[in-house]
């Protein structure tokens, strides 16, 4: 199953119950179709860069959140249709991260371990300061 990242901007409500329900609905939809939700991140409430219209309403403030998940392309399209119909969603995008775990995990950096960084620093005395 491919690995995806979804960024969603939802309408701001006074109660976060609406956002929680939207996130729960999205995660349960993926898991109900045999997918795996890896992580959900809340980015917070932010002023939108421009006034956005969705479902005949103008929005100036949005709640940003992301969800990382593995699922089939068929489930991805059904999730997109659910988000399209939901009045709480302003914008969303889904990015394919990769097909296999090797596509997602970065290779280990090639670094040189220098032993002089591991030694404790020399203790300087106040007499060293006057020798400039």
**Rounded Cα distance, 18 and 107, in Å:** 40
Residue 58 to residues 18, 19, 81: CA-CA distances in angstroms? 18, 18, 21
- Chain-centre distance for alpha carbon 47: 18
**Rounded Cα distance, 120 and 118, in Å:** 7
Q: Are 90 and 12 in contact (CB under 8 A)?
A: no
Q: Please name the residue that has the structure tokens 């990242």.
A: 5
Q: Are 33 and 19 in contact (CB under 8 A)?
A: no
| Of residues 54 and 111, more confidently modeled | 54
Architecture of the structural domain at 3-117: 2-Layer Sandwich (3.30)
User: What is the predicted pLDDT for the residue at 126?
Assistant: 54
Instruction: Give the residue ranges of DSSP H helices in 33-108.
Output: 73-85, 101-104
Secondary structure element (H or E) that encloses residue 30, with its range: helix 17-32
| Of residues 99 and 91, more confidently modeled | 91
User: What is the predicted pLDDT for the residue at 75?
Assistant: 94
Q: Are 82 and 8 in contact (CB under 8 A)?
A: no
In this prediction the pTM is 0.73
């Amino acid at each position: 199953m491919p690995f995806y990242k979804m960024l969603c901007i939802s309408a701001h409500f006074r109660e976060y119950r609406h956002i929680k329900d939207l996130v729960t609905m999205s995660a349960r939809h993926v898991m109900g179709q045999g997918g795996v939700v890896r992580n959900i991140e809340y980015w917070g409430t932010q002023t939108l860069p421009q006034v956005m219209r969705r479902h005949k309403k103008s929005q100036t403030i949005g709640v940003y959140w992301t969800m990382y998940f593995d699922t089939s392309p068929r489930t991805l399209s059904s999730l997109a249709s659910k988000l399209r119909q939901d009045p709480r969603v302003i914008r969303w995008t889904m990015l394919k991260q990769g097909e296999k775990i090797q596509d997602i995990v970065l290779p280990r950096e090639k670094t040189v371990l220098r032993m002089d960084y591991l030694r404790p620093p020399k203790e300087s005395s106040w007499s060293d300061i006057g020798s400039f």
